[in-house]
């Protein structure tokens, strides 16, 4: 097991609303999601059974924001993008890892499920609400965990061996530490700010 803390950036409160569609001023705006990081183990692991047969992950549009705004998934996983707001949304990404555009859809419409088949960070946006932004972190390891809002994490059921432990915070802010895991041992690994 590995546990520790990632020093996160300060929360952002910058949220504007695009008045192009509907009377959005009636929609209650939630504060932006607090910062979080994704901590993951990288290396050569024993062969894992296919873990992508479960139901798709989900990023909803709720209160003119992505919920969650950071989603770690395993390569090959599918993601649904339900609209929970009483206004149109149009989720898209121009990221090299995965390009897609779901088109405009309302609360009662179900857009296509998207499969993420290459590793990397995928930034998602809403064409209608320009301040909406989220990230899907597509990983080649089954050993990952999103931190809580204080930056704490715990990775459990890890194989013994030498690996690289990484903390993806945002964009190119990826912190890393080599780790040696032994059976029954708990490591404490913290990631200070760069």
Question: Per-residue pLDDT for 107 more than 70?
Answer: yes
Tell me the per-residue pLDDT of 123-133, one tens digit each, with 9 for 90 and over: 999 999 988 99
Instruction: List the beta bridge partners of residue 72.
Output: 137
- Which whole number is the average pLDDT over 106-117? 92
pLDDT of residue 9: 84
Q: Is residue 172 part of a domain?
A: yes
Question: Per-residue pLDDT for 93 more than 90?
Answer: yes
Neighbours of 19 (CB within 10 A): 9
Q: Is residue 93 part of a domain?
A: yes
Question: Per-residue pLDDT for 27 more than 50?
Answer: no
Residue 29: pLDDT band with limits 50, 70, 90: very low
Q: Is residue 40 part of a domain?
A: yes
CA distance 109 to 105: 6
pTM: 0.85
- Which whole number is the average pLDDT over 47-72? 83
Please name the residue that has the structure tokens 């873990």.
51
Q: Chain-wide mean pLDDT for the chain?
A: 86
pLDDT of residue 24: 46
Query: What's the structural domain count of the chain?
Result: 1
Residue 51: pLDDT band with limits 50, 70, 90: low
Q: Is residue 194 part of a domain?
A: no
- Which whole number is the average pLDDT over 144-151? 94
pLDDT of residue 175: 95
For 35-151, list the strands marked E by DSSP.
38-42, 57-58, 60-61, 66-67, 70-74, 78-80, 91-94, 99-101, 114-115, 120-126, 133-139, 144-146
pLDDT of residue 193: 86
Question: Per-residue pLDDT for 90 more than 70?
Answer: yes
Q: Is residue 108 part of a domain?
A: yes
Give residue 109's domain range.
2-188
Of 9-13, 167-171, 183-187, least confident by mean pLDDT is: 9-13
CA distance 188 to 2: 6
What CATH number is given to the structural domain containing 83? 2.60.40.420
Q: Is residue 193 part of a domain?
A: no
Positive or negative, the Cα torsion across 192, 138, 64, 100? positive
CA distance 120 to 136: 8
Judged on CB neighbours under 10 Å (0-12, 13-18, 19+), 141 is middle
Q: What is the DSSP letter of 26?
A: G
């Amino acid at each position: 097991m590995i546990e520790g803390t990632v020093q996160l950036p300060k929360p952002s409160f910058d949220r504007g609303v695009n008045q192009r569609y509907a009377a959005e001023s009636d929609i209650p705006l939630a504060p932006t999601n607090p910062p979080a990081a994704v901590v993951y183990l990288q290396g050569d692991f024993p062969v894992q059974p296919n873990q992508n047969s479960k139901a798709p992950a989900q990023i909803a549009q709720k209160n003119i924001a992505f919920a969650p705004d950071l989603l770690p998934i395993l390569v090959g996983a599918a993601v649904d993008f339900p609209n929970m707001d009483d206004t149109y949304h149009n989720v898209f990404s121009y990221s090299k890892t995965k390009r897609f555009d779901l088109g405009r859809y309302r609360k009662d419409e179900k857009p296509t499920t998207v499969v993420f088949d290459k590793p990397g960070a995928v930034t998602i946006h809403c064409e209608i609400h320009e301040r909406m932004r989220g990230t899907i972190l597509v990983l080649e390891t089954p050993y990952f965990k999103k931190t809580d809002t204080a930056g704490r994490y715990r990775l459990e059921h890890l194989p013994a061996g030498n690996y690289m432990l990484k903390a993806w915070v945002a964009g190119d802010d990826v912190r890393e530490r080599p780790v040696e895991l032994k059976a029954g041992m708990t490591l404490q690994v913290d990631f200070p700010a760069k």
